[in-house]
Amino acid sequence: MSETLLFVGNPNSGKTTLFNYFTGSRYKTVNYPGATVDFALAEWKTPTQSHWVLDTPGIVSIVPQSEDEEITRRALENIVPFVPNATQKMPALLIGVVDAMQLSRHLVLIRQLQQCGYAMVLAVTMTDVAHKHGRKIDFLTLSELLNMPVIPIEGRTGKGIDKLKQACCIRLAQKGSLPQPCPSHIEASTLKEQFEWAEKMVGLVSSNGYEKISGFDIDAWLLHPVFGPVGFMVTMGLFFTCIFAVASPAMAGIDSGFTWGIASLSAFLPAVWWADLLTKGILTGVGSVFVFVPQIALLFFLLGVMEGSGYLARGAMLADRPLSAIGLNGRSFVPLLSGCACAIPAMMAARTLPGKKEKLLTLFMIPLMTCSARLPVYGLLLSLLIGFHHPVQIAIGMTGIYVSSIILASSVTAIVGRMLRVAPAPGFQIELPRWHWPVLRHVLTHTVTQTFSFIKKAGPVIVCVGVLLWVLSTFPSPTHSFLHTFGHVLSPLLSPMGLDWRVGVALILAFAAREVFVSAIALMFASESTHLASLVNTLHHAVLEGTTQPLFTPASIIGLIVFFMISMQCASTLAIAKKEMGGWKLPLAMTVSYIVGAYIAAVGVVQAVQFWMG
């Protein structure tokens, strides 16, 4: 019979690192039914039995504050939805995780759990750091005082894990009484008592208090009133440069690899409908998912490094003032930062936000951030506008688009924030962890799991939309398809934007993923290749159908850029938004208003530019 062990602890207690050591980084992330919170589940085999080990989101108290804290609480009360074939409702054993340097704060949660009657084993992490700072802890006395096994663990090496496993085995063999339901509210006086108790425990077992840690205080610079924000800007600049400089060539490589592969495959396959479906529908769809993998992986890697070092929490603190001005919270910083690469992981990151209002507003803001799928589109449009042999001007144009997107997204968020009638989170609090060198192995494990999670979540939607669009563009016949008909129907809508139905078809195709616009434009204007130079050349000579006027004028190009800045043109973002917002109403309202808003703004800009240029 298998039993379930839960890792429980405060945020930043080293819980996930310990979980990695305990499971040998062999775990899978599972989606909790009904919610979107991922949690890590692993199987732990002892010589006689096999058990489930579950990592839960960090909590400061058993009274939850955000959606992910709520999950921990639910796991504590009923593990059946979390593990396959659970035989018991309650977890058999909790592994409480506390930081040796913050014993008096972290022991409070342990006290609360113990008072509920849970069987526990306590793991004290970062004992090496404590040792370095001259802090000695008498673990034997602590174990006697708490009446539970206490195992010291070294944070960097994981030394002590075997003892922890032994202690778990012994504790599992002893049968205790079942835990009581946890209270849903804790009185201030009770909390004070618990803190005083913890302080007393620490006084009894620890050699010294919180003496000033000597040495260079890097936070004095990074959180400096002037140098702090400047350093933050520089870090963000480096972050994006790194993502785009490294990921763009990889994206281009994967894209041309898939194009080449599909071309060679279709040359080899017979000219029948299923071969066409396979190459143009399914494989193209799969290709447009994999194009994002390098930079999604890079994003998770860099976020992992920043999180592991402790800068992410400081970034949230530095971003709180500007974000609070538009109704958000410093904690929205990480989702918005991810949103600059891709909206899907960004929306998944928004679930750690306390407060329904901040969460919803962040979800509304994410689709307006300049995600990487827009970059190939902007690249093409700017090359058309400026000329592709002016890289400096294109870079300036791109920066302009970024800055205007941020201004636009902030204004929209501020407006939506005034309209939303939901309770905001009680203030902004974040713990600033001590600086660490990130452990490469853990960052890599995190990167791989998160990237796979992205492929699993976004992949099916993108492929399905790809297949659907293939059907629409192939039947009844490729030259007179449903999509062509639809494009002609849209024609009256497109002429105020200075465009014709062919661009309309490309805009519809871009609903699979925005960057599809580039290849769709190439297809519609029968350019021999999607290579930028030849495509730009073809498009320069394109005329509005039935006239001799050029199609791509400064007005219509700027209009398209504005359209892409605002429009919610990504089926997988919609799917994820539906999950995260818990229903179709809000995400559909968001999608429709962003598309309509994008259209109105684009028409306005086109008309204004046309008027201004005579």
197 in contact with other proteins (CB under 8 A):
no
Q: How many residues bind other proteins (CB under 8 A)?
A: 42
d(CA 265, CA 274): 13
Which residue has tokens 């001590």? 434
Among positive and negative, which fits the CA dihedral 322, 326, 331, 336?
negative
Q: Which stretch binds other proteins (CB under 8 A): 216-224, 240-248, 471-479, 578-586?
A: 216-224
Q: Which position among 229, 438, 460, 550 is part of the footprint of other proteins (CB under 8 A)? A: 229
* Minimum CB distance to other proteins, residue 82 (Å): 25
239 in contact with other proteins (CB under 8 A):
no
Q: Which stretch binds other proteins (CB under 8 A): 104-112, 408-416, 536-544, 601-609?
A: 104-112
The phi, psi pair for 473, rounded to 5°, reads: -95, -5
* Token pair listed for 51: 């058990």
Closest to other proteins by CB, 60 or 455: 60
Concatenated DSSP letters of 369-419: S--TTHHHHHHHHHHHHH-TT-HHHHHHHHHHHHHHHHHHHHHHHHHHHHH
Please report, as a single letter, which amino acid is at residue 27: Y
215 in contact with other proteins (CB under 8 A):
no
228 in contact with other proteins (CB under 8 A):
yes
* Minimum CB distance to other proteins, residue 63 (Å): 8
* Minimum CB distance to other proteins, residue 443 (Å): 23
The angle formed by the CA atoms of residues 398, 404 and 410, to the nearest 5 degrees, is 140
Pairing of strands 50-55, 4-9: parallel
Residue 384 Cα distances to 102, 219, 381, 557, angstroms: 58, 46, 5, 8
Q: Interface residues for other proteins in 3-62 (CB under 8 A)?
A: 60-61
Closest to other proteins by CB, 417 or 459: 417
Among positive and negative, which fits the CA dihedral 96, 97, 103, 106?
negative
* Minimum CB distance to other proteins, residue 101 (Å): 5
* Minimum CB distance to other proteins, residue 104 (Å): 5
* Minimum CB distance to other proteins, residue 225 (Å): 4
Q: Give Cα 64 distance to the centre of its chain.
A: 22
Binding mask 479-498 for other proteins (x = CB under 8 A): --------------------
Q: Which of 99, 355, 61 is nearest to 188 (CA)?
A: 61
Closest to other proteins by CB, 232 or 564: 232
- Terminal Cα-to-Cα distance of the chain (whole angstroms): 80
207 in contact with other proteins (CB under 8 A):
no
191 in contact with other proteins (CB under 8 A):
yes
403 in contact with other proteins (CB under 8 A):
no
* Minimum CB distance to other proteins, residue 526 (Å): 55
200 in contact with other proteins (CB under 8 A):
no
Closest to other proteins by CB, 221 or 260: 221
Closest to other proteins by CB, 223 or 448: 223
d(CA 55, CA 439): 19
Q: Which position among 1, 173, 226, 419 is part of the footprint of other proteins (CB under 8 A)? A: 226
223 in contact with other proteins (CB under 8 A):
yes
Which residue has tokens 């008027």? 611
> Exposure of 407 by Cβ count < 10 A (0-12 exposed, 13-18 middle, 19+ buried)?
exposed
Q: Which position among 34, 85, 175, 188 is part of the footprint of other proteins (CB under 8 A)? A: 188
Q: Which of 400, 312, 386, 384 is nearest to 349 (CA)?
A: 312
Q: Which position among 321, 456, 480, 585 is part of the footprint of other proteins (CB under 8 A)? A: 321
Sheet with 4-9, side-by-side order of all strands: 28-31, 38-45, 50-55, 4-9, 93-99, 120-125, 150-152
* Minimum CB distance to other proteins, residue 37 (Å): 20
Q: Which stretch binds other proteins (CB under 8 A): 186-194, 443-451, 515-523, 535-543?
A: 186-194
Binding mask 520-559 for other proteins (x = CB under 8 A): ----------------------------------------
The angle formed by the CA atoms of residues 369, 355 and 34, to the nearest 5 degrees, is 85
d(CA 61, CA 42): 25
In sequence order, what are the residues at sequence separation of 6 or more whose Cβ sits closer than 8 angstroms to the Cβ of residue 21? 153, 158, 161
What is the Rg, in whole angstroms, of the alpha carbon atoms belonging to the chain? 28
Q: Which position among 51, 74, 105, 502 is part of the footprint of other proteins (CB under 8 A)? A: 105
* Minimum CB distance to other proteins, residue 193 (Å): 10
* Minimum CB distance to other proteins, residue 67 (Å): 16
Three-class DSSP category at 54 = strand
432 in contact with other proteins (CB under 8 A):
yes
Q: Which position among 3, 154, 307, 320 is part of the footprint of other proteins (CB under 8 A)? A: 320
d(CA 572, CA 463): 10
Q: Which position among 101, 121, 350, 469 is part of the footprint of other proteins (CB under 8 A)? A: 101
Closest to other proteins by CB, 3 or 320: 320
* Minimum CB distance to other proteins, residue 528 (Å): 55
In the 8-state DSSP scheme, what is residue 567?
Answer: -
Please report, as a single letter, which amino acid is at residue 461: V
* Token pair listed for 384: 């058309």
* Minimum CB distance to other proteins, residue 40 (Å): 25
* Minimum CB distance to other proteins, residue 64 (Å): 11
Count of other CB atoms within 10 angstroms of residue 581:
20
Which residue has tokens 């639809």? 486
127 in contact with other proteins (CB under 8 A):
no
236 in contact with other proteins (CB under 8 A):
no
Closest to other proteins by CB, 61 or 143: 61
d(CA 219, CA 314): 9
137 in contact with other proteins (CB under 8 A):
no
Question: To which H or E segment does residue 471 belong?
Answer: helix 440-474
429 in contact with other proteins (CB under 8 A):
yes
Site residues (CB under 8 A) for other proteins?
60-61, 63, 65, 101-105, 108, 186, 188, 191-192, 195-196, 199, 210, 219-220, 223-226, 228-229, 313-314, 316-318, 320-321, 324, 330, 426-432
